[in-house]
């Protein structure tokens, strides 16, 4: 589990409540988690038990009280050790490819519709991401290198979807010419 370390990361930037972390993680696409309560609140308890964070309760008159978590020196050490550890290979979960693999029984029109639906999904996502990258979401900015890296991450994420869209568009074209040449033969 590296959600623990992702959370430690955000806490190494600024103290956060569970609620803050949920929003932060949910909003950051590169942190591929949904940011759901169950995991976040459980993980905060774990981090606290392991002495990687301290907890402070902040009473508020108008809103419910917040539990503010702050990273400890042990937490920073753990985070750095993890950051330097051997990286894993990325995992692409592309359900569309599984779908595409088993389109043997679809005719040309059904195939067209499928590709078009995927292309449209991607187009919408790309538009949304482009806007988000343009606006620049909340990111740590403690050094030139850090903001450079966060910008690189955002544009790289966008590029993944853009490349997928380019691929599907070229596939659409190639399938059309293929279908046509088969029609010519008959």
Beta bridge partners of 55: 69
Contact (Cβ atoms closer than 8 angstroms) between residue 65 and residue 58: yes
* Cβ closest to a copy of itself, residue 45 vs residue 149: 149
- According to the binding rule CB under 8 A, does residue 142 interact with a copy of itself? yes
At closest approach, how far in Å is the CB of 137 from DNA?
15
CA torsion, points 158, 159, 165, 170, in degrees to nearest 10?
170
Cα 43 from chain centroid (whole Å): 19
**Hey, which residues between 27 and 56 contact DNA (CB under 7 A)?**
33-34, 36-39, 41-42, 44
- According to the binding rule CB under 7 A, does residue 7 interact with DNA? no
Q: Give the containing element (helix H, strand E) for 70.
A: strand 66-71
At closest approach, how far in Å is the CB of 163 from DNA?
23
**Hey, which residues between 66 and 125 contact DNA (CB under 7 A)?**
66-67
- According to the binding rule CB under 8 A, does residue 37 interact with a copy of itself? no
**Hey, which residues between 146 and 165 contact a copy of itself (CB under 8 A)?**
146, 148-150, 152-153, 156-157, 159-161, 163-164
At closest approach, how far in Å is the CB of 16 from a copy of itself?
14
Query: Please, is 124 exposed, middle or buried when counting C-beta atoms within 10 Å of its C-beta (0-12, 13-18, 19+)?
Result: exposed
Number of CB atoms found within 10 A of residue 41's CB = 14
* Cβ closest to a copy of itself, residue 60 vs residue 107: 107
* Cβ closest to DNA, residue 91 vs residue 185: 91
Only segment of 15-23, 112-120, 132-140, 148-156 that touches DNA (CB under 7 A): 15-23
What is each CA distance from 98 to 2, 52, 94, in whole angstroms?
27, 41, 7
């Amino acid at each position: 589990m590296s959600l623990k370390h992702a959370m430690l990361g955000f806490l190494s930037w600024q103290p956060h409540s569970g609620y803050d972390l949920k929003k932060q993680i949910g909003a950051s696409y590169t942190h591929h988690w949904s940011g759901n309560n169950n995991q976040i609140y459980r993980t905060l308890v774990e981090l606290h038990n392991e002495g990687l964070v301290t907890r402070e309760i902040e009473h508020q008159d108008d809103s419910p009280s917040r539990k503010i978590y702050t990273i400890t020196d042990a937490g920073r050490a753990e985070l750095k050790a993890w950051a330097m550890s051997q990286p894993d290979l990325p995992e692409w979960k592309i359900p569309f490819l599984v779908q595409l693999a088993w389109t043997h029984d679809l005719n040309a029109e059904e195939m067209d519709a499928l590709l078009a639906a995927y292309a449209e999904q991607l187009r919408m996502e790309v538009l949304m991401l482009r806007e988000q990258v343009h606006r620049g979401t909340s990111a740590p900015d403690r050094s030139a290198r850090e903001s450079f890296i966060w910008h690189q991450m955002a544009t790289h994420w966008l590029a993944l979807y853009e490349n997928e869209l380019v691929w599907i568009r070229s596939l659409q074209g190639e399938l059309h010419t293929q279908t046509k040449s088969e029609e010519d033969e008959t």
